[in-house]
Chains A and B, each alone.
Chain A
Amino acid sequence: MSSGVSVSDDCITSYQELMKRKHKYVVYGLNPTFTEIVVLKTSQDADYELFIKEFPNDQCRWAVYDLEYEADDGGKRNKVVFVYWSPGQSSIKQRMVYSASNNALKARLGVALEIQGNDEEDLEFVNVLEKAKRNSR
């Protein structure tokens, strides 16, 4: 089932720009009336710590992040990660609407790898990296 919220065109174009390395990450969220998913921020900053700060501890968010890492056999790899952030302190209404809108955004962008984040531990770089490596197909 879905929530029926629409996705602004910006969401897809900013993702295409990230794929072309114009952004390092894009943060998405629901507009105040809970009717549309919009781009909240785009950034070129490669500092992962700064990226984590984009996720408030009482509100849900989505993001796509261009993860760069060293593969086990040496050599740099890039993998785009889709993050769905829904912290325990967010209201049940937020969680419900964001969860039911998840696919609307993720499927439109066509990202395969998703990180479900419910607390800070889920967003720690090591955990995210582990999932990305495991998911390398």
Chain B
Amino acid sequence: MSFKKADLFPCNPATTRGESTRISSSKDKIAYTNGRTVIIRDLKAPSAVVSYAGHVQNATVAKISPTGYYCASGDASGTVKIWDLVGEDQTLKGEYKVVAGRIKDLDWDGESKRIIAVGEGRDKFGHAFMFDTGSSTGSIIGHSKTVNAVSIRHQRPYRAVTAGDDCTIVFHQGAPYKYEKTIKTHSKFIQDVRYAPSGDHFASVGMDMKIFLYDGKEGETVAEITDSPHTGSIMALSWSPDSTAFVTSSADRTVKLWDVETRKAVTTWNLGKAVEQQQVGNAWTEGGDIVSLSLSGDLNVFDKRAGDKPSRVLYGPSKAVTALTPTSSSGTFIAGLADGRVLSFDTDYKYAEGAGHKNLVSGATTLPDGKVATIGYDDLVREIDGVSFTQASCPTTSQPKSIAAAADSTLFVVEIGVVEAIRSNQKVHELKPKYTPSVVAAHGTTVAIGSDEQKVYLYEWDGKSLTETAVLEGNRGALSALAFSPDGSQLAAGDSSGKIALFDAKAKKFITSRWSFHSGRILSLAWTPDGKHCASGSLDTHVYVYSVAKPGNAIAIKNAHAGSVSSVFWVNDGKLASVGADGCFRTWEITFFA
């Protein structure tokens, strides 16, 4: 058996309230980070996505070199990694620890030879070095607090500007980089400073809601842009490829397009009224796409000629996917996130409409009629029809952990110490077992409940109550995942130790526990439609595909998702899909042995 990487539908950028999120661009690509993953996606070719998970701590910024051969990415530990963007292996070219705390920004010089990285530190807030050797090229001094942004002039005379929480911009001569002067235009934290591609100007924006324009060569302040001011902190600024305009993204939930010559706002795009629509980052690709990031994680793409709304919005998980259920056999699914939001995926992501969950979505299951039932840490069972939430809402007695649907559309919800059966939005039965229930699965009229005490209990559901029919033993840890094969004859049971026990569900007997390659809690199990293979996703970040006939042979897809693999499911007999804590959705082409 073997596998081949197929598609990657990336997560969206991670956002933090009150902070700027860095998005960089190169040709038609944008680069951003989420958790430990760096994502580079092509806005004109959605299937061309690159993900890099080499950072040990959360990645914070990524920028592609002007030549396009390398990507430099920084993380929360103060380390910059430079890796090969062209080859499949993403070979590491260099790794350097440059500041004591988080890297907030970095920039390449015009020759793709030097990098300046800036961020948090004690008495050093930035470092200028050669990308291939790490040896320093000058010193970045003049700041007394965290530096948020850096931009290098690509033309001679070489210059660099850095700006940060000490409300000043330091203008450096380059290279080797040397302090030249301090620019004191802003009165609050400066969030971004950027050179125009032509090098003629650079501009700065900050929490004082002001925009300043400066001469690129000598750093003289040319003007404060006062026309149509923002009414909230400005978090990011990006120049047009021809340097005649720039866009600003603000916490006032608008994106403004500015003309450099007239110094006026040409267009103001209004994204909404909620806090979630505060704009926290932006980029302007060489291909002409203006992208602005909402606090919610949505990437809004604007065309500068259309002034009323985004030409399209790229939705996607910006937090971990904590629950998922396929809604068809062609790869569509409903995914619930750690912050309560729910996305539906068809060819791309969309948010489920209507008020959903207010807290982490802990489970989702598809009902026989195609509707989806979801549970969340707001202690509610909700229902989705198509892509919208219905009014149906049933409160649970305590925090729900797992949900499954029987053939008669009864939902079984595992909570703390109790399992509730809910149908048509009402509780119809309650089971208070002597064991601690942890996970549930259902097939036809058979319900399997896994326990913390390492046993699986089988029940028959007659529409009114559950009758215990068997106790299955074979696991070595608290049960964490259960799945019946499509015909109901087999039951795979995964536990917190990484072991999966296979049971004959009809004969109620243990078959084998050789499916134990995982080293961490099993989070998801999925059978192929023909019932011959079962895939598993685990906290250990790996995916395995096991065979019923040959239990010792398994396909290992190592490190499929940074953090953990939260869900696996089959798109068809040969394509496996997986989703993880990294918010990414990947598919794999599996070739089985005969």
Contacts and interface: CB of A to CB of B under 8 A. Distances in A.
Contacts of B144: 2, 7, 103-108
Contacts of A6: 168, 184
A9 B142 CA distance: 9
Given A12-B141, A104-B166, A110 B181 contact: no
Contacts of A108: 141-144, 166
A108 B184 CA distance: 14
A115 interface: no
Interface in B132-168: 139, 141-145, 166, 168
B122 interface: yes
Interface in A108-124: 108-112
B179 interface: yes
B182 A107 contact: no
B520 to A, nearest CB: 41
A36 to B, nearest CB: 10
Contact of B123 (A2, A7, A111): A111
A109 B143 CA distance: 8
B124 interface: yes
A91 interface: no
Contact of A107 (B123, B139, B178): B123
A105 B144 CA distance: 7
Contacts of B179: 12-13, 16
Contacts, number: 39
A2 B142 CA distance: 16
B171 to A, nearest CB: 10
Nearest to B145: A107
Contacts of A106: 123, 144
A115 to B, nearest CB: 15
A12 B123 contact: no
Q: Please tell me the size bucket of the interface on A.
A: 10 to 19
A110 B179 CA distance: 12
Given A6-B184, A9-B181, A12-B142, A110 B124 contact: yes
Nearest to B124: A110
A103 B184 CA distance: 18
Interface in A65-95: none
Contact of A109 (B125, B141, B145, B178): B141
Contacts of A105: 144
With a 10 A CB-CB cut-off, give which of B166, B168, B178 has the most chain A CB atoms: B166
Nearest to A82: B123
Contacts of A16: 178-179
Contacts of B181: 9
A34 B122 CA distance: 24
Interface string A1-34: 0100011010011001000000000000000000
A110 B139 contact: yes
A3 to B, nearest CB: 11
A16 to B, nearest CB: 6
Contacts of B145: 2, 107
A112 B181 CA distance: 21
A13 B184 CA distance: 16
Interface centre among A7, A12, A103, A108 (most CB of B within 10 A): A108
Nearest to B125: A107
Given A103-B144, A107-B144, A112 B123 contact: yes
Nearest to B141: A110
A106 B142 CA distance: 9
Contacts of B182: 7, 9, 12
Contacts of B178: 16
A103 B124 CA distance: 12
A120 to B, nearest CB: 27
Contacts of A109: 141
Contacts of A107: 122-123, 125, 143-145
Contacts of B141: 12, 108-110
A17 to B, nearest CB: 12
A65 to B, nearest CB: 17
Interface in B149-204: 166, 168, 178-179, 181-182, 184
A104 B166 CA distance: 8
A129 B181 CA distance: 32
Nearest to A102: B144
Contacts of B139: 110
A103 B141 CA distance: 13
B22 to A, nearest CB: 23
B129 to A, nearest CB: 16
Nearest to A105: B144
Nearest to A107: B144
Contacts of A9: 181-182
B294 to A, nearest CB: 32
Interface string B100-144: 000000000000000000000011110000000000000101111
A6 B184 CA distance: 9
A13 B144 CA distance: 15
A106 B179 CA distance: 15
Nearest to B143: A108
A57 to B, nearest CB: 28
A12 to B, nearest CB: 6
B198 to A, nearest CB: 27
B569 to A, nearest CB: 52
A13 B178 CA distance: 10
A112 B122 CA distance: 10
A109 B181 CA distance: 13
Contacts of B123: 106-107, 110-112
A107 B179 CA distance: 14
Contacts of B125: 107
Given A107-B123, A108-B144, 6 more contacts: A6-B184, A103-B144, A104-B144, A107-B122, A107-B125, A110-B124
18 contacts: A2-B144, A6-B184, A7-B144, A7-B182, A9-B181, A13-B179, A16-B178, A104-B166, A106-B123, A107-B122, A107-B123, A107-B144, A108-B141, A108-B166, A109-B141, A110-B139, A110-B141, A112-B123
Q: Sort A-B residue pairs by CB-CB distance and give the 5 closest, nearest first.
A: A107-B144, A110-B141, A104-B144, A108-B144, A9-B181
